[in-house]
Amino acid sequence: MGKADKNKSNSMTAQWGIPTILLMIFLVITLINYNKTMQENARVKALDRVSRQAVSVAGYYKGLFEGTTNGADAVSDFLMTEDDIFGKRAVELLSQFDDHAGLIDAYIVKSNGNAIDSYGHTHDVVNDSDAFKSLLGTKDNAAALIDSKNRPVLMVSAPIRSEEEWKGNLVLVYKADRIAKQMDTTAYSYALVYSEGIIGEVYGAESGLFGLGDNLKTVVDTVRFDDSNPSAFLQSLESGRSGTVHVTGRSGISCYMIHQPIGKTGASIVVTVQDDQIQRSIIEENQDTRNMIIKVIFSIGVFVALIIIIYIINRVSFTKESMELQNKAETDLLTELLNKISTENKIREYLDGEGHDKTSMMCVLDIDNFKKINDTMGHAFGDEVLATLGKRIKTEFRVTDIIGRTGGDEFIIFLKDLKDDTVIERESGRVAGFFKDFTVGTYTKYSPTASIGAAIYPRDGSDYESMYKAADTALYKAKKRGKNQLAFFSETTEEDKLEAANASKPKPID
């Protein structure tokens, strides 16, 4: 393949190959980024589902608190009209409200701390926790989730007071374990955090973070916050805000913690979901997207494979055509041997390369009396002589040898890698003997002869020019001795060399 052909091929490759490769890279990068975006969206959706679950549970308690406070307001207003809030009418009203609202307990607590329940039993102390004490003596309704007898309870307080007088508080107690019915316990872990920071209940999948009765402030000191810090988390929780943090627990399990306040109770729901749960949700969410990406990548692969196959086919076809054109450019059309330029180039390449240290022989051959053949038998017959000689001589020698037509009736036979003088003598005899049985013509048989000059590399020359000059001098010697024979350059005299050098170039056709 010539330089121009190579440049053309490279240009075509650059024209189609580079844009195709860039397009494929762009598509792959786009798909990767799209997949990342979809995974992030799926992660946000998964966390949003958990958040909604936390909001739903917290909302249940908020509704319970609001409904309870409304009822408590009505009862406390009636009690304010009673002279004795521990009296029979007050206890009957409390009992009726207890039965109607499905309470655990209901108390009327005087300002001195004494209390009476809906059964008429008096108590010195209802609950000695700070959370309970904070419910008493306030002007407004209040609520708190409190640990009572090792179970979480929701206590709602309504003051029994007027502008001038405070008689006590109405305290209603609800069961808090209904929260378990609100939860998806197969995937998430829920912790009920009381207002004082105690973990009152833990439900659902084991998170490895919380245990019943743990103090939240102590727990957060044992985990690593990946995108926040313990102080910010606790501050957000205490201020009644919702939020999400990512942590790694003591056991090395990574998970998300989502906290949601329960109205004005001071308590919160903390939902814990492990990373692998989120990852499973992401996989389920992105199943269709992943299948689509696989199909697109497969289609891109098929497209690239087709492009490569087409490129290879075109490359092979182009190479084949280039070789055919190159062969035509290097071949003499009449004899189908190498032409003059190709013969010279191939001999030079061999002597400069692998044949640099090997013995070779160059034979320059002229058909004897070729001008007479043209004049007496016609140029067509002369062409037949040349064509027949080209076909016959090509089959006589090795395919690795270089054989070409370098002039009208001049041929060069370059025999490579001759091991010793015995081989040289044998091969030169074969060249000289070729014309002993060489005939041309179908009806009229003609036996042309040839004069041959031979030079040995590197003894008679070190490159193509010196070798050709030596072989041509030997050819002059063969013609001088009567033609139809082979002469070596080593057989020539100084006189022969001088006469050959003075002969006009190009030589006239015999």
* Residues 368 and 253 placed together within one structural domain of the fold: no
Q: What is the pLDDT of residue 351?
A: 93
* Residues 168 and 184 placed together within one structural domain of the fold: no
Q: What is the pLDDT of residue 178?
A: 55
- CATH number of the domain at 275, please: 3.30.450.20
Q: What is the pLDDT of residue 317?
A: 76
Q: What is the pLDDT of residue 223?
A: 85
- CATH number of the domain at 390, please: 3.30.70.270
Please write down the HEC assignment for all residues of 13-60: HHHHHHHHHHHHHHHHHHHHHHHHHHHHHHHHHHHHHHHHHHHHHHHH
Q: Which residues contact 492 (CB under 8 A, 6 or more apart)?
A: 473, 474, 476, 477, 500
Q: Is residue 320 part of a domain?
A: no
CA-nearest of 27, 36, 109 to 72 is 109
- Which amino acid is present at 86? F
* Residues 133 and 271 placed together within one structural domain of the fold: no
Both tokens of 179, joined, read 């929260």
- Cα-Cα-Cα-Cα dihedral sign, residues 101, 104, 108, 111: negative
Q: Is residue 312 part of a domain?
A: no
Q: Is residue 395 part of a domain?
A: yes
* Residues 355 and 386 placed together within one structural domain of the fold: yes
Q: What's the CA angle centered on 290, arms 286 and 296, to 5 degrees?
A: 145
Q: Is residue 367 part of a domain?
A: yes
Last residue of a domain, one of 269, 284, 299: 284
In tens digits, the chain (510 residues) has pLDDT values of: 445 555 555 555 556 667 777 777 777 788 778 778 877 787 777 778 777 777 777 777 677 777 777 888 888 888 888 888 888 888 888 888 888 777 888 899 988 888 998 888 888 877 777 777 877 867 778 777 777 776 777 788 889 888 788 888 888 887 765 555 555 545 567 787 876 777 767 776 555 577 777 888 888 888 888 888 888 888 888 888 888 888 887 777 788 888 888 877 777 888 888 877 777 777 776 777 777 777 777 777 787 777 778 778 877 776 777 676 666 667 888 888 999 999 999 999 999 999 999 999 999 999 999 888 888 888 888 899 999 888 888 888 888 999 999 888 999 999 999 989 899 999 999 898 888 888 887 776 788 899 999 999 999 999 999 999 999 999 999 999 999 999 999 988 888 788 877 764 554 444
Give the C-alpha distances (Å, rounded to integers) separating 330 from 316, 337, 407.
20, 8, 14
* Residues 183 and 150 placed together within one structural domain of the fold: no
Question: What is the helix (H) or strand (E) element at residue 248, kind and residue range?
Answer: strand 243-248
* Residues 169 and 82 placed together within one structural domain of the fold: yes
Q: Is residue 209 part of a domain?
A: yes
* Residues 186 and 168 placed together within one structural domain of the fold: no
Q: Is 203 in contact with 269 (CB distance < 8 Å)? A: no
Last residue of a domain, one of 152, 173, 194: 173
* Residues 46 and 130 placed together within one structural domain of the fold: yes
Last residue of a domain, one of 245, 267, 284: 284
- Give the domain range for residue 119: 15-173
* Residues 104 and 252 placed together within one structural domain of the fold: no
* Residues 345 and 228 placed together within one structural domain of the fold: no
Question: What is the helix (H) or strand (E) element at residue 243, kind and residue range?
Answer: strand 243-248
Q: Is residue 3 part of a domain?
A: no
Q: What is the pLDDT of residue 455?
A: 94
Q: What is the pLDDT of residue 11?
A: 59
User: How many domains are contained in the chain?
Assistant: 3
Q: Is residue 313 part of a domain?
A: no
* Residues 259 and 363 placed together within one structural domain of the fold: no
* Residues 358 and 468 placed together within one structural domain of the fold: yes
Q: Is residue 450 part of a domain?
A: yes
